[in-house]
Structure 1
């Protein structure tokens, strides 16, 4: 069910249809675009998407796909169902070219590339057709008939320009030959008469025979028309020229008219005879044109997918939505025309969190997020590519219902709020576990208190019916509802408080502030008005809104910080890798230089030996003295020692200097890092002393008994690292921000005072918990994690992104409860899971070591993680 009737207009799908029609090659494709409809069958939608995927591959891999002559001649073919009717020449020409296009497409898609008859196999959940490169389009084309005999017969009838051939039949050939002879005789007779008339001055020199009413005539001045014997057929508009058919060619012209009539009758006979051959195949021909329209429509889908950067995901049968980097296609096109970029959204709806309540400032992107969900899900179930990341998960919904915009109706006497209530009524009536509901500005249009109450009650009904949905609102009670009910999640459109501009980013997990006070102050509303408004709503409301803003700000700050740290770690790893590579290159160069030096020395030694031996031979031949020979041999021996002792000290010195530079660079880096940490610690200590001096409280030091603000449990402060402290609570080591801790004073000996203080602490704790926005369910979940934590995590059989998410939560819990060592079971396989998990572990600061388990206990199939 799609609700309401103007759903496509509301979400912008009518504009998607227009973009598709602009990319169609014919009316056939445009009609197919009009027939695009919403499907609730996952197999059907997956087949449609596979067709688009195949066509996109065709566009990338080949330029030979036939895309010419997408003519729509169905009206002419259907007219031929009546006996004794016939197709005209131009209709026959269009039929021939379009039938040939269909035949080429079918041949292209049904081409067997492997030449075998092996059956299809399953690979990664997809059917892989060994015989056909584009299996989805092959399935679309395999039952389509082609008509080579009709095409061949048309080629016998028409020439390449679409005209009836002279030899289309023997009779037509005879008629046209006689017609050509007769017209030739007429032309010769007329030319003779014309030359004679020109010589007599009856006709001007530049006059030539012309055609009037299908007969060859001579133009003559009116006062000389009696000079030429014949029939006057016409005169010019000015009356200065008359057209005379000489009597000598009257009979010949009459014969031409008879031959033309015979020619036309023979052409009609030929066309009628061919049409009789077409008539039995009209149904199959119409089906082939429907196939041509489908190909045209699929091509338009592929073209649209390119410009919106669409993707064809695998669609699951049940309701599911885990979209990564999703963007509104129409907004993307609009911003690209302005040289701007769209900011993608990550949207997740699961069975555990079915309803997403999005809050945030006006013009912050809430409605765009809502329309993005509606449009992309509708496009998906219509078989269109959607602009999401390739790791996204998609599913099917049987009902999509939307309430957006002003539906005030004068005809039905409905106010804006009445129309919203009517929509709520219909949504509650048809909502079920496979329904997705999209509501913009939930509960508005009436008095805020009762409007918020009704909206909360309606939201509760949706929860009970297990419906999925995305709802935008400004009401605080709906934000609290999401925090205190299972199956509902808060979401916020982020806003930059310093720049006072929306960021158009969706953050799921906490509610957002409307920033009403800040926006009012930015546009220049008088401060007195703002102060009075703040007093009217009360300090509690302003304070809670401030907490929401602080939460959003802190999350953005720490998220940016985490990304910067990870980036710096990556840069550091790259630098270390670069230095190591450089060392290896230097060592290789050193060995190469040494080897080359030794080789040159050996060659030099051999050459020297050869020369000296020649010298000695010459000395002997000349009978030189023995002392001279001995001296020469001694010089040879000393030279040999010098060559053998060639030292590589220069190269070694160069390498040593390079290594020393690297070591000094590392030492300076470590020193700078230590100094920076020391300065941060000193600054933090100075800040703590200043704050505590001002407030009159004790400065927290290592070894103090402390407690978390708002709680009664005490622990021992083990260490302080900047703004982060490590505290031991009941044997469990926990890291948390220093500003969340306070000094725990020694309890009083008086039991009455103790009880009063305990009550006071409990009240204070409850108040602070409320101010922090921590629900009982959240607190209970945190306690359960600590009590029920297991040391082993099994991610075998999971996808990479699922396993990585599970490991992230597992490591966070292990750090929270102070577990020194944990194990992750991922199996061996191809090692992909192990690689992904260890890449993540290398980015976690608290992980001190990770590696394979002992061979006896699983080896490379299990990763041991040490946490410091």
Structure 2
């Protein structure tokens, strides 16, 4: 239960409803937003929250969600329930596309049978029983084309009508062109005039002075009166036939649509259910987008009564400050079974009302199925009622003062509140004489506490602060204030009451000091001292809280550094073991080579039959060398030096090899027959001829004239490898560019309004691209005008080898204002 009726206006939820509505794709989702209500069933609330949370994951995921066509065709489906009615072409096109969207969405959430757990369980469950009607989509595809127009072959009769219609139009076009040419020859009509359409009939534009020169019917004249449109007598009958055929065509289309509607009618209920699913998806998607906008998430939600929020943010305040490039101060608040009612005190404009509205709005959002902007470790509960008393409710019509209105609300609260109610009361007890107002407020607070209600209440009354301090179930809270800067900090501190800082604020705004002193004397030193003690407590708490926060941050930093050092040590230890293993393997290899060399030396000594003493001496020297090498292969710090020696030996071998190669292979001299490649490219070619500073190079079947300084010499093996792998001179980037150009190429260019040279350049690039991607037919929109632009473009087209033919477009599709170009 929500109280009062204007709860959403008071908390700002009506604006959130508008923001979510704007994110919907269709009226389907907008209806869902308008029907969004406060729920108090745990299972229902958590189901809605998980659905929204899963859709946030969908929006953040790699796979694109199918959200193209969210059309509401329910009005059309309702209309065709009556026999003899039909769905029109536009509605049929919307039906086909939206049914396809439904099918794609169901497929998106469908999981493989092998998967034990779906990726989005709540959304998968929502889409589980939705029908997708693939046969209906196929049936519609047989009737309409990709632009939503009824196909010629939708029926044999429609095909016949359209063939006759096309034939008749072609005859009219030929007749008009003949008449027009004769009129142009006689000087009755300008050379650049073309037939046009008026009232559905093909006519010829003529100057008023010559209108009697052409026998026919005058249908219209231009707004300036300088042109009249005449339908020649020769084509009147044919135009009449066109009208008849168009009527026949329309009747046949209606017959086709009526027949299809008869097939559709029995499925309407199942289709309605599928559109309810589409509405749910649109609604959930809009909620997820809003959650991303305000950084909302799914906290821990339990089936109990609690508010334990960390860094909670009022979403509307967040969006407002975001536009001003400011940061909102988050709220930490806790209401538990032990401390159910939080009594907040503090200075005016310190953030008490914002704190109260934040609690009411976020709890209401949560139980409407919306994610809320809090930290993940926040814990939320479910309440049956949220009652709010905030703002000035003075009513002239009902003869109620502000205080009377507050008392009316308190009467409702006392009567209807229970242990599952959240009370949100601003300026509790205000609006009347302080002493009696405070007493009534204390009595009401005691009644609410005995009914075990939960609540957030703001007040300035000292007696309520004392009552909260002495009563179990109620806890004081304070909005912090900087005494030195004399400005609010908008932070809530729970555990101690707050000071109103009345003396300090009065002094800041410049109230005379004698007035302040007199006021202090009137309230007495006890009140002044108590207010000062409260300020000191708040100050000390802020100091120690800051110290504790700094210590916590340093401890966290120390833990992070320790973890990083431990990870680095483990990494270094692993690298050390790998280096040692590599060094040991290398040393063993060297030792094995040494042994082989020793044996080879002994064999050679035996072969030359050297003296035995000399042989023993050589063996002794070799054994000493072997012992020396073995001593170096100990796994200690000497390994690094040994590895360095090995690297130096390898580097010497490499340098020696490079020196030999330079002596046999001169890369700076290119001659006929050499293998070369373009600098920065991989493909190699053969030099066929050298002409001064240029070379003729064959890259496969392609011969190119290239400057010598752009070539570099490679080995013949490179040329063979390129031939074996059939490497292409076209780079992968060029291939990708061609593929993108072919996919994105549009077969029509509009140059109307361009200057002549600008239009000609655009057409040149357009024709080149068309030939490049293999297009066989393109259209150039240049308009009629004076005809100069058309003539310039066509003169250019005559010079293009790839252009096979060009002509005017059909008169109904633009006539002489468009040139149709056919390419080889």
* Aligned residue number for residue 41 of structure 1: 41
Report the 3-state secondary structure (helix = DSSP H, G, I; strand = E; otherwise coil) of the residue aligned with 2:340.
strand
Task: Give the superposition deviation at 1:376.
Answer: 0.5
* Aligned residue number for residue 277 of structure 1: 263
* Aligned residue number for residue 244 of structure 2: 258
Native 8 Å contact 1:29 1:296 kept in 2: yes
* Aligned residue number for residue 134 of structure 1: 120
* Matched ranges for 1:552-567 at <5 A: 552-567=538-553
Rounded to whole Å, the distance in 1 between the matches of 2:353 and 2:389 is 11
Rounded to whole Å, the distance in 2 between the matches of 1:253 and 1:588 is 90
1:418 maps to 2:417: no
- The Cα offsets for residues 273-292 of structure 1, whole Å up to 9 and x where unpaired, read as 22233333333333332322
Report the 3-state secondary structure (helix = DSSP H, G, I; strand = E; otherwise coil) of the residue aligned with 1:347.
strand
**In structure 2, which of residues 199, 202, 207 is the aligned counterpart of residue 213 of structure 1?**
199
Native 8 Å contact 1:590 1:651 kept in 2: no
* Aligned residue number for residue 102 of structure 1: 102
Task: Give the superposition deviation at 1:395.
Answer: 1.2
* Aligned residue number for residue 25 of structure 1: 25
Report the 3-state secondary structure (helix = DSSP H, G, I; strand = E; otherwise coil) of the residue aligned with 1:353.
coil
* Aligned residue number for residue 143 of structure 1: 129
Native 8 Å contact 1:491 1:512 kept in 2: yes
* Aligned residue number for residue 776 of structure 1: none
Task: Give the superposition deviation at 1:36.
Answer: 0.5
* Aligned residue number for residue 509 of structure 1: 495
* Aligned residue number for residue 724 of structure 1: none
Rounded to whole Å, the distance in 2 between the matches of 1:379 and 1:335 is 20
- The Cα offsets for residues 200-220 of structure 1, whole Å up to 9 and x where unpaired, read as 444443333333333333344
1:70 maps to 2:70: yes
TM-score, normalised by the number of residues in structure 2: 0.70
The verdict on how the C-alpha distance between 1:638 and 1:524 changes in structure 2, with shifts beyond 3 A counting, is farther
1:56 maps to 2:56: yes
Task: Give the superposition deviation at 1:424.
Answer: 0.9
Native 8 Å contact 2:299 2:375 kept in 1: no
Deviates more, 1:189-198 or 1:331-340: 189-198
Task: Give the superposition deviation at 1:18.
Answer: 1.3
* Matched ranges for 1:117-128 at <5 A: none
Task: Give the superposition deviation at 1:535.
Answer: 1.8
Native 8 Å contact 2:300 2:376 kept in 1: no
* Aligned residue number for residue 409 of structure 1: 395
- The Cα offsets for residues 661-703 of structure 1, whole Å up to 9 and x where unpaired, read as xxxxxxxxxxxxxxxxxxxxxxxxxxxxxxxxxxxxxxxxxxx
Rounded to whole Å, the distance in 1 between the matches of 2:570 and 2:255 is 89
The verdict on how the C-alpha distance between 1:457 and 1:210 changes in structure 2, with shifts beyond 3 A counting, is same
Rounded to whole Å, the distance in 1 between the matches of 2:568 and 2:315 is 47
Task: Give the superposition deviation at 1:631.
Answer: 9.1
Task: Give the superposition deviation at 1:297.
Answer: 0.9
The verdict on how the C-alpha distance between 1:276 and 1:525 changes in structure 2, with shifts beyond 3 A counting, is same
* Matched ranges for 1:268-667 at <5 A: 268-568=254-554
Rounded to whole Å, the distance in 1 between the matches of 2:616 and 2:326 is 90
The verdict on how the C-alpha distance between 1:106 and 1:611 changes in structure 2, with shifts beyond 3 A counting, is closer
Native 8 Å contact 1:209 1:216 kept in 2: yes
* Aligned residue number for residue 188 of structure 1: 174
* Aligned residue number for residue 5 of structure 1: 5
Rounded to whole Å, the distance in 2 between the matches of 1:279 and 1:614 is 98
Native 8 Å contact 1:609 1:636 kept in 2: no
The verdict on how the C-alpha distance between 1:651 and 1:562 changes in structure 2, with shifts beyond 3 A counting, is farther
The verdict on how the C-alpha distance between 1:221 and 1:527 changes in structure 2, with shifts beyond 3 A counting, is closer
Task: Give the superposition deviation at 1:239.
Answer: 4.8
Native 8 Å contact 1:46 1:314 kept in 2: no
Task: Give the superposition deviation at 1:226.
Answer: 4.4
Rounded to whole Å, the distance in 1 between the matches of 2:437 and 2:189 is 98
Rounded to whole Å, the distance in 2 between the matches of 1:520 and 1:578 is 54
Task: Give the superposition deviation at 1:568.
Answer: 4.7
Report the 3-state secondary structure (helix = DSSP H, G, I; strand = E; otherwise coil) of the residue aligned with 1:351.
coil
Unaligned runs of 5+ in 1: 117-129, 653-868
Task: Give the superposition deviation at 1:359.
Answer: 1.4
Deviates more, 1:421-430 or 1:488-497: 488-497
Unaligned runs of 5+ in 2: 639-824
Native 8 Å contact 1:354 1:487 kept in 2: yes
Native 8 Å contact 1:45 1:315 kept in 2: no
Report the 3-state secondary structure (helix = DSSP H, G, I; strand = E; otherwise coil) of the residue aligned with 2:376.
coil
Task: Give the superposition deviation at 1:449.
Answer: 1.3
Rounded to whole Å, the distance in 2 between the matches of 1:134 and 1:605 is 62
- The Cα offsets for residues 294-332 of structure 1, whole Å up to 9 and x where unpaired, read as 211100110111121111235333322222222211122
Native 8 Å contact 1:80 1:86 kept in 2: yes
* Aligned residue number for residue 718 of structure 2: none
Task: Give the superposition deviation at 1:403.
Answer: 0.8
**In structure 2, which of residues 233, 236, 239 is the aligned counterpart of residue 247 of structure 1?**
233
Task: Give the superposition deviation at 1:375.
Answer: 0.4
Native 8 Å contact 1:113 1:131 kept in 2: no
Task: Give the superposition deviation at 1:397.
Answer: 1.0
Rounded to whole Å, the distance in 2 between the matches of 1:107 and 1:635 is 80
Rounded to whole Å, the distance in 1 between the matches of 2:609 and 2:104 is 99
* Aligned residue number for residue 89 of structure 2: 89
Rounded to whole Å, the distance in 1 between the matches of 2:375 and 2:545 is 21
Task: Give the superposition deviation at 1:241.
Answer: 4.2
Native 8 Å contact 2:587 2:633 kept in 1: no
Native 8 Å contact 2:584 2:633 kept in 1: no
* Aligned residue number for residue 717 of structure 1: none
Rounded to whole Å, the distance in 2 between the matches of 1:115 and 1:586 is 42
- The Cα offsets for residues 573-616 of structure 1, whole Å up to 9 and x where unpaired, read as 67778888899999999999999999999999999999999999
The verdict on how the C-alpha distance between 1:13 and 1:645 changes in structure 2, with shifts beyond 3 A counting, is same
* Aligned residue number for residue 156 of structure 1: 142
Q: RMSD of aligned C-alpha atoms?
A: 3.6
Report the 3-state secondary structure (helix = DSSP H, G, I; strand = E; otherwise coil) of the residue aligned with 2:343.
strand
- The Cα offsets for residues 106-139 of structure 1, whole Å up to 9 and x where unpaired, read as 3333x232348xxxxxxxxxxxxx3643222233
The verdict on how the C-alpha distance between 1:627 and 1:348 changes in structure 2, with shifts beyond 3 A counting, is same
Task: Give the superposition deviation at 1:175.
Answer: 1.2
The verdict on how the C-alpha distance between 1:577 and 1:216 changes in structure 2, with shifts beyond 3 A counting, is closer
Rounded to whole Å, the distance in 1 between the matches of 2:352 and 2:24 is 34
Rounded to whole Å, the distance in 1 between the matches of 2:132 and 2:571 is 66
Rounded to whole Å, the distance in 2 between the matches of 1:76 and 1:512 is 62
